[in-house]
Amino acid sequence: MLGRWLAFCVQLTYTRYLVASALALAADLAIFTLLLIGGTAAIVASAVGYLCGIAVHWLLSSRAVFTATGYITTRHRQRVLFVGSALVGLGLTTAIVGLGDRIGINPHMAKAVAIAVSFHVTYLLRKTIVFA
């Protein structure tokens, strides 16, 4: 019974994380696209969009995703670790978009790859370190 309850809680956390990620991604992609339209370099647009998405994700993750008793730690420690995980995601995103741009891949396609990689890496960091 306890095993089923824990599995259910993990599934809910992942579902809430997916929703938070979708909302943060919407903010990220909107800024990214607007900057590209305005003539900003793809790597810069990617970084600025990602940073805006980080702000949205922090608000949602800290208040609606990782709220179970086992995830609560001090807010300051969470913020520092969240920023660290965000910097890892930012590094992955800018590296992938920058590389894609250099080899002639459409910036939106490169961003799609970056999103997939960054999503999984930051989820694991946040679940196992930030909100553990």
pLDDT digits over 71-107, tens only? 454 777 888 898 999 999 999 999 999 999 999 999 9
Name the pLDDT band for 26 (thresholds 50, 70, 90).
very high
- Of the CA atoms within 13 Å of residue 42, those in its CB half-sphere come to 21
Amino acid 14: pLDDT:
83
| The residue type at 46 | S
